[in-house]
Amino acid sequence: MDESMTISPADLSQGAACGVASNTAGGAAPGVIRKPRLTEVVALKAMLDAAAAAGQVLPRALPELYENVRDFYVYVDDQGLGGCVALHIDMIDLAEVRSLVVREDLRGRGIGERLVAEVIEEARRMEIARVYALTRVPVFFERSGFRMVDKTELPYKVFKDCSRCRLFPGCDEIAMVCDLPPPDAAKREEPGG
């Protein structure tokens, strides 16, 4: 209901595992990805409002953004905020990648991919078993290691959020998931681990 509609096909690249960023065409963007500052929340809201007006993400109220600012990562360059994404924890083993937006002049430069990789890495550190996204751009998430599933595989999301959405039950978004290996499995995959 709320994901990466602002990512163009040119923003895609191949990734073998969830959140694995690789080089993309269009040149690397010189900004940094980090947690947002509280002084940037108003600009974050403006970015999300523009995407919401285009039907690309769900709108977020300013108090909601302040309450959930720790869910977000932002891409910042010399022009200010250039992108954002949130990792919203639903349950002990489930989190949603949401509110993915990239500023129009930065699309096609791998920013969206880098933002998703950042939240996937955070999910790994927190030992979250599954991350998901609802999107109209499934190819973006497929190339970042996600796979399509039926929304019924996400009953918590459907009950908590989707059932309250104005588009429910006729939502056209596609559910995508990425199952993260348990920490012990990840260590076995590392050389010398």
Question: Do 74 and 33 contact (CB within 8 A), yes or no?
Answer: yes
Q: What are phi and psi of 168, to 5 degrees?
A: -70, 135
Domain ranges (residues) in the chain: 9-189
**pLDDT digit string (tens) for 95-127?**
999 999 999 999 999 999 999 999 999 999 999
Decide which of 3.40.630.30, 3.40.50.200, 3.40.50.1860, 3.40.1260.10 is the CATH code for 9-189: 3.40.630.30
pTM: 0.80
Structure tokens at 92: 């002990």
Mean pLDDT score of the chain, rounded to an integer?
82
d(CA 32, CA 69): 17
User: Which residues, 6+ apart, have CB-to-CB distance to 123 below 8 Å?
Assistant: 87, 95, 131, 180
Mean pLDDT of 178-182: 90
Reported confidence tier of residue 138, pLDDT bands at 50, 70, 90? very high
Maximum pairwise Cα distance, the chain: 51
